[in-house]
Amino acid sequence: MTALDPLAGRASAALLSTATRWLAWLELEQRASPHTLAAYRRDLGFFLGFLADYRGGPQDLADLAALETRDFRAWLSARAADGKAKASTARALAVVRNFFAWLRREEILENPRLALVRTPRLPQAVPKALATDEAQELLAAAGEDERAPWIVARDTAVLTLLYGAGLRIGEALGLTRGEAPGPGQDSLVVLGKGRKSRVVPLLPVVGAAIRAYLALCPYDVGSEGALFLGARGGPLSPRIVQQRMSDLRRALGLPESATPHALRHSFATHLLGSGGDLRSIQELLGHASLSTTQRYTAVDAARLIAAYRAAHPRAR
């Protein structure tokens, strides 16, 4: 059963079957993650549901082929009227484009009018990083807690890994016990977006934090089990890490932007500020496009301007 099933009766069985084939292609051929597949299912489902309401009945493949530019624009307008964020709408439009492109490659149908629809213009988001001293203070505070020592060590290890290696939270929590770094190990193989692996350098302090956690962890889950575990021995949930960051944020008076992902932003920003080059940082972060990594130059420029204004005699 898929997330498209609730639309049965609003889209034909043939259309739903075709959409399911597309999702299977995304999973098997494009190696889309479960999170990505869930988002694609949801976005395509909303699109098909809108068409059923807008055009007065269940839609079929022939209906998709006959869609006019104004129909696609009506869908985008409806999303705007519902208060959907531009970034969310841009992603939904990308999902629909992907579906129609697949339909064309499979020679199922073709609709060239979708190409005439413009993607909503998005403001350039600037990653929000912690200052160096804030990051250091946060990691120190993570180790000062009255909970079970192994849980304190676990949270410290996770946060140190996010900041010290620039991992996404899903990448860190996806590591297995067998992938835990041993003494003297100076790199780590990480499975990132699109199930693409990359090698990241491992600072001694990161490896030491992970080994300190493992020495205290009361559960033996074997080499294939999750590296980071919850209180009951199951894989650690991202929500637990997010909650721990929230607690530390309040305790230290840090901004709301101080999330687990902000530690990854901080890793990249601090590397760039210390002379790291964009290409190397791109590889370490696992970005497919250099333009994504280039956002950090804006962060570093803002930091330099703030320092200039605080220090220059004529700025006072």
- From 55, 193, 198, 249, active-site residue: 193
Active site residue 312: no
Active site residue 287: yes
Q: Identify the segments of the chain with pLDDT beneath 50.
A: 1-4, 6, 290, 292-293, 299-309, 311-316
201 DSSP β-pair partners: 187
- From 41, 177, 244, 264, active-site residue: 264
**CATH topology for 132-311?**
hpI Integrase; Chain A (1.10.443)
- From 79, 168, 244, 270, active-site residue: 168
pLDDT tens readout for residues 269-303: 777 655 565 566 565 665 555 454 455 555 444 44
pLDDT of residue 256: 85
Query: CA separation (Å) from 255 to 134, 200, 258, 281?
Result: 11, 28, 6, 25
Would you say 130 and 252 are in contact if contact means Cβ atoms under 8 Å apart?
no
pLDDT of residue 311: 46
Global pTM reads 0.56
Report the C-alpha gap between 198 and 100 in whole angstroms.
31
Active site residue 261: yes
Report the C-alpha gap between 233 and 238 in whole angstroms.
15
Active site residue 270: no
- From 198, 211, 261, 303, active-site residue: 261
Could you tell me where in the chain the CATH 1.10.443.10 domains are found? 132-311
Could you tell me where in the chain the CATH 1.10.150.130 domains are found? 5-116
Active site residue 113: no
- From 40, 163, 213, 296, active-site residue: 296
| Domain covering 5-116: architecture | Orthogonal Bundle (1.10)
Active site residue 35: no
